[in-house]
Amino acid sequence: MNKQEQELMKQQAKMAVMGEMIGNIAHQWRQPLNALSALNIGLNIKYKMGRLNDEEMKKFKEKSNEIIQNMSVTIDDFKNFFQPNKIKSTFTIKKAVEHSAKFIYDSYRQHKIALFIDIDKQITINSYKNELIQVLLNILNNSKDAIVEHKIEKPYVKIFAQEDNHEINIYIQDNAGGATTEVLTRMYEPYFTTKFKSHGTGIGLYMSKMIVEKSMKGVLISENKGDGLLSTIKLKKDSKEWSYNI
């Protein structure tokens, strides 16, 4: 693959992730917007009934401000996600996982997918947080798509981690039925996808593998285990200098 093709793939990956993020923002905002609408309707009803007093106005102001602040936090989360993170920082794996879970919370809830996070809050790493969040998000979205496609009853995704003196392993296990030998062999190839053209580009997992291996000097692998797919991210506790040459 030449440099021009690599740059094109990076741009396509960014656009694909951005589209996913915009969809997630819509999901995240729908509920608070409905809540604000209900508050306004209730305020108008109380006004017409002559029941609008100082106490009711105070309640309306406090509740609406709380909702608006939460919406503002959502925007900050997504804005920070897209900022390049070329300086390493020390962070806990649990915080990074929980941050990625915030982006997919509503889509998981929509499809009744249980998400279990069992990670020791003391496990820390010196690496690139936003890049790890992007990788986790791609894997979590892939699990969701597989669960929806196979119409899994009582679907779940479990995320857990283990560490030793030099390495941290992050595991993402779903119960979406696993993958065929061909898919397991090719799933991290560029443009390979089992989805319809309108639903997938085949670059999300490829870019995830490149980020883990080229930028974070780690390993990303997937295998069938139990009732689904187990994806493992292996990272050194202190990764080398930045090398985002994908």
pLDDT, tens digit, for every residue of 112-157? Answer: 999 999 999 999 999 988 889 888 988 998 899 899 999 999 999 9
**89-236 belongs to which homologous superfamily?**
Histidine kinase-like ATPase, C-terminal domain (3.30.565.10)
pLDDT, tens digit, for every residue of 55-108? Answer: 989 988 888 888 787 777 667 666 665 555 567 889 999 999 998 888 788 788
* Contact (Cβ atoms closer than 8 angstroms) between residue 81 and residue 22: no
| Per-residue pLDDT band at 25 (split at 50, 70, 90) | low
Q: Which tokens is 21 given?
A: 């993020």
* Contact (Cβ atoms closer than 8 angstroms) between residue 108 and residue 137: no
Look up the CATH number of domain 3-82: 1.10.287
Provide the greatest CA pair distance for the chain: 72
Distances (CA, A) of 181 to 102, 137, 157, 187, 233: 32, 24, 21, 10, 20
Lowest mean pLDDT among 91-95, 195-199, 232-236: 195-199
* Residue limits of CATH 3.30.565.10 in the chain: 89-236
The pLDDT of residue 175 is 97
* Residue limits of CATH 1.10.287 in the chain: 3-82
What is the percent of the chain with per-residue pLDDT over 90, rounded to a whole number? 35
What angle separates helix 54-82 from helix 129-150, to the nearest 10 degrees? 100
